[in-house]
Amino acid sequence: MVMEDTTQAIDISSPINGLSAPVASNLSLSTSPSANLYSSPASKDSSRWHRGNTVASAAKQLKPFATEDIKILLLENVNKTGRDILAAQGYQVDFLKTSLPEDELIQRIRDVHVIGIRSKTQLTSRVLREAKNLIVIGCFCIGTNQVDIQYAAKHGIAVFNSPFSNSRSVAELVIAEIIALARQLGDRSNELHKGTWNKVSSGCWEIRGKTLGIIGYGHIGSQLSVLAEAMGMSVLFYDAVNLMALGTAKQVPTLPALLQGADFITCHVPELPETHNMIGRSEFEQMKNGSYLINASRGSVIDIPALIDAMRSGKVAGAALDVYPAEPSGNGDYFTNSLNTWAEDLRSLKNIILTPHIGGSTEEAQSAIGIEVSEALVRYVNEGATLGAVNMPEVNLRLLTMDEPNHVRVIYIHHNVPGVLRKGGENDTLKAFNTHRSRQQESG
């Protein structure tokens, strides 16, 4: 909930998690750094107008805490662009290049207000239960399945991610893998590294004129569609909802229709119960003989033992995997049967590209992700703006300006229980003040 109070500004003590400090009067309020404004996603155009209009009129931020009291923990080598944005706000930023084991993570998270992670750190309910001061989580990646989203929402912890910034990098990787599989480049390269000259054309193809089947036509799938068509491929796609096709791509009504019609199949779906082993033995049987499979989405989407059998039988001529059901928490010689029982069988196959979850690992993508997520964290901490949060209703009012010295905004997160605002909530806290306008949004 966001409320706007039009009475003379009065000091209000905040009881939240050690951040108590009086709300400052209009002369000592911090100002928003206008140099660090980045465009929101195209679907959020209205928010850009709100922010743009504010900068022209000396924006101010109303915060019931001192900026330097905010403690931030960044794990897994979050890009420097993101670190710089957070440090420029005056926050205490603690940065590590690796993820942490759960017990050590619990010790480190207890006194932080903001944590930034990538895909390896697991923020389970056990970890979050110990994070008494935590107000927001930043996932510097697309996925949020490494966070207990429901637990975070129930305890008023907002979660932000980066759904757009690395989609081009993933799409380009898939295009490269399509060509590499069609030409058996991995096998020829490995052979020559061992000294074997093996110049062959059998089983090697151009991708022009072939059909690409895309499962999941979101940010990545749609960009991939355009790139594939530019290279002369036809495109079919399957999605759970009806979507507008780009170019001459065609949506098919069922997954079997896509499997039966595509020469190359690529998966771009989230990790959900519905997508677990989405491609299994029955799906491999429906695919064309000699087809190719690529997965750069989530490791649980493909039944790997079934893929191994399909490749050994010749049903599948090649595959590229960037994600796996279990992945190491750090770099090293860990991709063995002790991690996944089928790992060594998978590694022994011909014409298979195995990469260590690098779909979004480009300098451009990581820089953009650092900016996108850090800006979202700053807006939430400083302004209470929840635009882009995956587990909160979206609230994104324009910033107050120095021309509005008597206005105060408060974001109040509570359970959706009848009467909660009357019992210790908005009414008790602000009953002495003249609340001019109140906006409520609900989630769940």
Active-site residue set: 298, 327, 357
CB atoms within 10 A of CB 212: 28
Structure tokens at 227: 């790139």
Judge residue 96's burial from the number of C-beta atoms within 10 Å of its C-beta, 0-12 exposed, 13-18 middle, 19 or more buried: middle
Structure tokens at 368: 């953009």
Side chain identity at residue 155, one-letter code: H
Render 328-383 in DSSP notation, one character per residue. -SSSSS--STTTSTTHHHHHT-SSEEE-SS-TT-SHHHHHHHHHHHHHHHHHHHHH
Based on its alpha-carbon atoms, the radius of gyration of the chain, rounded to whole angstroms, reads 25
Q: At what angle do helices 363-383 and 167-182 cross, to 10 degrees?
A: 160
Judge residue 69's burial from the number of C-beta atoms within 10 Å of its C-beta, 0-12 exposed, 13-18 middle, 19 or more buried: middle
Side chain identity at residue 217, one-letter code: Y
